[in-house]
Each structure stands twice: as C-alpha cells, then as structure tokens.
Amino acid sequence: MVSFLNYLINGLSLGSIYAIIAIGYTMVYGIAKMLNFAHGDVIMVGAYIAFSVITTAKLPPVLGVLAAVFGCMLIGICVEKIAYKPLRHAGSSLAVLITAIGVSYFLQNIALLVFSSNPKMFTPIIPMNMMTIQLGAFRIQTISLVSIAVSILLVLLLVLFINKTRPGQAMLACSQDRGAASLMGISVNGTISLTFAIGSAMAGIAGVLLCSAYPTLSPYTGAMPGIKAFVAAVFGGIGSIPGAMIGGLLLGVIEILGKTYISSQLSDAIVFAVLIVVLLVKPTGLMGRQVQEKV
C-alpha cells in the first residue's frame, strides 16, 4: 500500500508537469486555433536558462526560475510575431504545422551550438538537505509535492486571470470569435501575443520542475514531454484549461503505474493506447465540447 501511494504521488507529480505544459498548448489552440509544436522545445530553453543562472552564474535558484520565466515569455512572443503571425491567414494548417516543426528544430540546434550535445546535470531548485520527506515507511521526494502544488496554484491563478481581468476577458472573446472581438475594439494581435507569452512562461516553469525531478538536461529534453503534454491536452479536451489539467494528471499516473506494474518499455505505448480508447469513446476528449462549424 505504501509503495502504491509513492507511485501514485510520483505519477501526480509527473502529471502536474504535463498539465502545466498542456495548458500552453490548449490556450494557444483555443485562441489562435493553431498547434504550437515548438512548445516542447521552449521547455528545454527554459531549463537551460535556469541551468545557466543557477549552475554557471552561481545565483540563487529563485533567480534561475524568474530568468527562465521571462526568457521563455520573450521567446514565445518572438516566435509568434516572426513565425506564426504571417501565417495566421494562410488558410492552411499545414503551413503552420511545418513552421512549428522548423521552429522546433531551430531551437534544438541553437541549444546544440551553445551547450553542445553532452547532457548537463541540472541543479534541483530544492536544497539537498530537503530533497526527501520520510514519514515512517512513507518516503517521498519534495520536488513531487512542489510540482503538484505549483500546478494547482498556476491553474487557479490562470482561471482567476481569465475570468476577472480585462485581458482575460479579451482572451475569452477571441477564443469565441476573433472577428467579432476585433469589431468590439479588442486587439486580437495583442491578445494572441499575450497568450503565447503566458503559455511560454508556464513552459519555462515546467522545464525547471521537470529537470529538478529528472536532473539530466540536453537539447532534446523537451521533445518527448512536449508530445506527451499535447496528448494530455487532447486527452482532456483541447481548448479546455481544466481538461488540460485533468488530462495531464491522468497521463502522469497512467505512465508511472504502467512502468511499475506492466512494463517500463511499454509505458509510452500504454499512454497512447489509452488516448486512442478515450477518443474512440469521446472524440472531443474528457472535457471538450462539440463545436459547430460556421459555413
């Protein structure tokens, strides 16, 4: 029983990181109606920024986290302005998809040039003497609790921001109808840039949490977590923030329990198989809504 609880908490911790990343996917899709497949590599960039500040510059971890957040926000805004904005009216989602793949490889290769392909040992943001909590036979990593708490806090703050502030209301309006929102005086371009900035900032936080829990950093660190977070967003219902949260948590639990009780080699296959089953039963995801297309 104790072992199962440990595995469950580890799964919720990993799922919390997936949820933070998935929210970035679902926000961009919900407002800009595009899939930013370079989002996973923004995670990697945020982790490298934190690594440079904490390990190389020997500054406090809190400054590393802040640097990762603001650095990723800037990257997200630049990527949207340079790569995606010119394609917003292209009429083909294929052009956006190819551009996203190009941005992904661009970020990976910049990291290869700057940091080389050799994996780096990431310094966790939790002090070494506080890494583990022991309660009798119950033993848990502190970073697991931090990841869960941070994900819940971020979702609550994001929901309050969207429902209680003017920029948040503008985001809701753009997600419903960008044309009507523009006629009402809302800056659609500014709202989309804000969405990319928030999503990328959350990716920076996720990168720090991911590398604190699994302290190996390379230019390809964000590739698989990015794909799994996209799966979590689809699992929960793409476009739904609560759905992304639930999808991420479930995905993390399924992955860890699958590794433990079935097969570590088949854990990824189990995750994708569960997604297929869910989409066969409910094509819009767990909390997705059927949207009527205008003609």
Mean pLDDT of the chain: 88
Report the candidate in 184, 161, 225 with the shortest Cα–Cα distance to residue 17.
Answer: 225
The confidence score (pLDDT) of residue 192 equals 92
The confidence score (pLDDT) of residue 292 equals 54
CA pair distance 235, 79, nearest whole angstrom: 26
Q: What is the pLDDT of residues 236-261, one digit of tens each?
A: 888 888 889 999 999 999 999 989 88
Report the length, in residues, of the chain: 295
Q: What is the pLDDT of residues 187-219, one digit of tens each?
A: 988 999 999 999 999 999 999 999 999 989 999
Taking the chain, what is the end-to-end CA distance rounded to the nearest angstrom? Answer: 55
241 is written with which tokens? 């923030």
pLDDT band at 295 (very low <50, low <70, confident <90, very high): very low
> 162 with 171: CB under 8 angstroms?
yes
Interacting residues of 114 by C-beta distance below 8 A, sequence separation 6+: 48
Q: What is the pLDDT of residues 63-72, one digit of tens each?
A: 999 999 999 9
> 154 with 174: CB under 8 angstroms?
no
65 is written with which tokens? 């986290």
| Mean pLDDT, rounded, for 24-32 | 87
The confidence score (pLDDT) of residue 238 equals 83
Beta-carbon neighbour count of residue 265 at 10 Å? Answer: 8
Residue 278 — φ and ψ, nearest 5°?
A: -60, -45
pLDDT band at 132 (very low <50, low <70, confident <90, very high): confident
Res. 42: pLDDT tops 90: yes
> 240 with 112: CB under 8 angstroms?
no
The confidence score (pLDDT) of residue 1 equals 64
Percent share of the chain, pLDDT over 70 = 94
Q: What is the pLDDT of residues 155-192, one digit of tens each?
A: 999 999 998 999 999 998 988 888 888 888 889 889 99
CA pair distance 74, 83, nearest whole angstrom: 14
How many angstroms separate the most distant Cα atoms in the chain?
Answer: 63
Q: What is the pLDDT of residues 84-108, one digit of tens each?
A: 888 877 666 788 888 999 999 999 9
pLDDT band at 128 (very low <50, low <70, confident <90, very high): low
The confidence score (pLDDT) of residue 254 equals 92
Percent share of the chain, pLDDT over 90 = 49
Q: What's the half-sphere exposure (Cβ side, CA atoms, 13 Å) at 259?
A: 12
| Mean pLDDT, rounded, for 99-122 | 93
| Mean pLDDT, rounded, for 144-160 | 92
